[in-house]
C-alpha cells in the first residue's frame, strides 16, 4: 500500500492548526499541449509522463470559504446549494477534510465557474486549484507555489498546472511521496497566442479521465510507446516555445493529442471520445491548413476540439468556423 494523501499533506501543515478565517481565490482552467495520460500512483495522481499546458487567463474557477452557522458543510456550485451526497459536494468535502484536522467548524464552500458551459471544458483542474488556493488562505498555511501545485494534484492531476498562469510544465517527479511532482510556470509570454474552444457535440456520455487512463494503461499494447513519445514532444514543445516557432509548436501539440487518442482507441473496451462531428471538424482544420492558415487542433477526453492559432490568422479561423463566438476565443496573455 503506497503512502496516502493524508499522510503526505500532514507533514507540511503547521503543528497547531489555526482556526479558519475567510478565503476567496481564483485559478484558471488549462489545456495541455503535451498531454498527461496514465498514472504511476492512483492515490496521489502521480503521472507516468510529464506534461505542458497553457492556462486560460481569466477563464476558470473562483472559490470562497467562510465559516457557517449550520450543522454541516454547505457546498455551492454556480450559486446553487448542492445535496451533500452529490458527487461534486462529496469530492469537495473529501478534499477539504485533508486539511481540516480537528477543526470541526462547518464551512460554506462556494465555487463559481466562468468557463462557458457551451465550450464543453472540464472544470476539475481549475476547481481543485482554486479550492487548494482558498484552503491555503483559509487555514493560513502559507504554502509555497510548488507545494500548492503538488497538493492540488492530489485532487486532480491537471489541477497541478492550474495553480499558474501562462505556459506551465508539470514535472513527473520520482519521489514516493510525490512532492517533486508539481508544476512550474515557464518564463514565456506569447501575446498573440490564441485558443478557440470548438464545441462540436453535446450530451455525450463520457468515460472520465481517471477511468479512461486506467483502462488505457491496463489494456492498450500501444500505450507502451506513449511515455517516450510524450517525453520527446515535451522537449520539442519547450524548444518551439523558446523560439516562438508556432508551426513546430502546433504540429507537435496536434500529433501529441492524436497519439494519446490512438492509445485510447487501442484500449479494450475501446475508448473513442470522438463523435462524427469531431472528425468533420478535424478535416476542416486540415483543409484550412492546406490553404496556408496556421491552425492546429488538440483534444482531451471528450468530443470537442481546441484550435491553436495566432491573432494574424483569427479572421481566417472565424471564417471557417463561424460557430465560434467571442466567448469561445481565449487570449491566455490578455
Ligand atoms: C486528457 O487531470 O482530469 O485532459 O488526475 O484523474 O483527475 P485525474 O485526471 P485529469 O486528466 C486530464 C487528462 C487530459 C490531458 C491533460 O489535461 O493533460
Which is higher by pLDDT, 123 or 180? 180
Instruction: Give the position, in ligand 1's atom list, of the atom nearest the Cα of 157.
Output: 5
Q: What band does 118 get if pLDDT is binned at 50, 70 and 90?
A: low
Instruction: Give the position, in ligand 1's atom list, of the atom nearest the Cα of 155.
Output: 7
Out of 30, 158, 227, 257, mutate this one to test ligand 1's pocket (max ligand atoms within 8 Å of CB): namely: 158
Give 77 Cα–ligand 1 centroid separation in angstroms. 21
Q: Percent of the chain scored above 90 by pLDDT?
A: 90
Q: What band does 11 get if pLDDT is binned at 50, 70 and 90?
A: very high
pLDDT for position 116? 67
Long-range contacts (CB closer than 8 Å, 24 or more residues apart) made by 73-77: 73/106, 73/107, 73/108, 73/109, 74/106, 74/107, 74/108, 74/109, 75/109, 75/110, 75/111, 76/108, 76/109, 76/110, 76/111, 77/111, 77/113
Task: Decide: 301 in ligand 1 pocket, CB within 6 A.
Answer: yes
Give 120 Cα–ligand 1 centroid separation in angstroms. 14
pLDDT for position 101? 86
Nearest CA to ligand 1 atom 5: 157
Residue range 312-324: average pLDDT?
97
pLDDT tens for residues 28-55?
A: 999 999 999 999 999 999 999 999 999 9
Give 138 Cα–ligand 1 centroid separation in angstroms. 27
Residue range 119-131: average pLDDT?
85
Give 43 Cα–ligand 1 centroid separation in angstroms. 14
Give 292 Cα–ligand 1 centroid separation in angstroms. 32
What is the residue whose three cell numbers read 502559507?
142
d(CA 41, CA 55): 25
Q: What band does 104 get if pLDDT is binned at 50, 70 and 90?
A: confident
Do 110 and 95 touch, CB atoms closer than 8 A?
no
Nearest CA to ligand 1 atom 7: 156
Task: Decide: 172 in ligand 1 pocket, CB within 6 A.
Answer: no
pLDDT tens for residues 175-202?
A: 999 999 999 999 999 999 999 999 998 7
Task: Decide: 304 in ligand 1 pocket, CB within 6 A.
Answer: no
pLDDT tens for residues 261-286?
A: 999 999 999 999 999 999 999 999 99
d(CA 35, CA 47): 10
| Neighbour count for residue 104 (Cβ, 10 Å) | 6
Give 106 Cα–ligand 1 centroid separation in angstroms. 30
d(CA 45, CA 95): 14
d(CA 263, CA 48): 14
Task: Decide: 157 in ligand 1 pocket, CB within 6 A.
Answer: yes
Nearest CA to ligand 1 atom 1: 300
Dihedral sign, Cα of residue 122, residue 124, residue 125, residue 130: positive
Give 135 Cα–ligand 1 centroid separation in angstroms. 22
**Which alpha helices (DSSP H) does 123-225 contain, by range?**
124-138, 145-155, 209-219
How many Cα atoms occupy the beta-carbon half-sphere of 279 within 13 Å?
Answer: 6
As a whole number, the mean pLDDT across the chain is: 95
Q: What band does 209 get if pLDDT is binned at 50, 70 and 90?
A: very high
Do 329 and 196 touch, CB atoms closer than 8 A?
yes
Residue range 149-153: average pLDDT?
98
Give 39 Cα–ligand 1 centroid separation in angstroms. 10
d(CA 150, CA 9): 10
Instruction: Give the position, in ligand 1's atom list, of the atom nearest the Cα of 158.
Output: 2
Nearest CA to ligand 1 atom 6: 210
Q: Percent of the chain scored above 70 by pLDDT?
A: 97
Task: Decide: 30 in ligand 1 pocket, CB within 6 A.
Answer: no
Can you read off the three cell numbers belonging to residue 90?
462529496
d(CA 165, CA 188): 10
pLDDT for position 1? 62
Task: Decide: 36 in ligand 1 pocket, CB within 6 A.
Answer: yes
- Asked if residue 332 has pLDDT above 90, the reply is yes
Residue range 142-167: average pLDDT?
97
pLDDT for position 201? 83
- Asked if residue 100 has pLDDT above 60, the reply is yes
Angle between helices 87-100 and 124-138 (to 10 degrees): 30
Report the predicted TM-score, pTM, of the whole model to 2 decimal places: 0.97
Give 36 Cα–ligand 1 centroid separation in angstroms. 6
pLDDT for position 260? 98
d(CA 214, CA 177): 20
Amino acid at each position: 500500500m503506497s503512502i496516502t494523501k493524508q499522510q503526505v499533506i500532514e507533514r507540511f501543515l503547521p503543528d497547531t492548526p489555526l482556526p479558519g478565517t475567510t478565503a476567496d481565490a481564483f485559478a484558471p482552467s488549462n489545456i495541455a499541449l503535451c498531454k498527461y495520460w496514465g498514472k504511476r500512483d492512483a492515490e496521489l495522481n502521480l503521472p507516468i509522463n510529464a506534461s505542458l499546458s497553457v492556462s486560460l487567463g481569466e477563464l476558470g474557477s473562483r472559490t470562497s470559504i467562510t465559516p457557517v452557522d449550520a450543522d454541516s458543510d454547505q457546498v455551492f456550485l454556480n450559486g446553487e446549494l448542492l445535496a451533500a451526497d452529490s458527487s461534486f459536494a462529496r469530492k469537495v468535502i473529501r478534499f477539504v477534510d485533508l486539511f481540516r484536522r480537528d477543526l470541526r467548524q462547518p464551512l460554506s464552500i462556494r465555487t463559481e465557474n466562468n468557463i462557458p458551459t457551451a465550450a464543453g471544458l472540464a472544470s476539475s483542474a481549475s476547481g481543485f486549484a482554486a479550492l487548494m488556493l482558498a484552503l491555503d488562505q483559509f487555514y493560513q498555511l502559507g504554502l509555497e507555489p510548488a507545494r500548492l501545485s503538488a497538493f492540488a494534484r492530489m485532487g486532480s492531476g491537471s489541477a497541478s498546472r492550474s495553480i499558474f498562469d501562462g505556459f506551465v510544465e508539470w514535472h513527473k517527479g520520482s519521489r514516493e511521496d510525490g512532492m517533486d511532482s508539481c508544476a512550474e510556470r515557464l518564463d514565456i509570454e506569447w501575446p498573440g497566442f490564441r485558443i478557440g474552444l470548438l464545441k462540436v457535440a453535446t450530451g455525450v456520455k463520457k468515460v472520465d479521465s481517471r477511468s479512461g487512463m486506467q483502462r488505457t494503461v491496463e489494456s492498450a499494447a500501444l500505450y507502451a510507446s506513449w511515455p517516450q513519445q510524450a517525453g520527446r514532444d515535451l522537449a520539442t514543445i519547450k524548444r518551439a516555445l523558446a523560439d516562438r516557432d508556432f508551426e513546430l509548436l502546433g504540429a507537435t501539440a496536434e500529433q501529441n493529442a492524436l497519439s494519446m487518442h490512438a492509445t485510447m482507441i487501442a484500449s479494450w473496451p475501446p475508448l473513442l471520445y470522438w463523435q462524427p462531428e469531431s472528425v468533420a471538424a478535424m478535416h476542416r482544420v486540415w483543409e484550412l491548413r492546406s490553404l496556408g492558415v496556421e491552425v492546429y487542433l488538440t483534444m482531451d477526453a471528450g468530443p470537442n476540439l481546441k484550435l491553436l492559432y495566432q491573432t494574424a490568422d483569427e479572421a481566417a479561423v472565424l471564417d471557417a468556423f463561424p460557430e465560434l463566438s467571442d466567448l469561445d476565443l481565449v487570449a491566455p496573455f490578455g
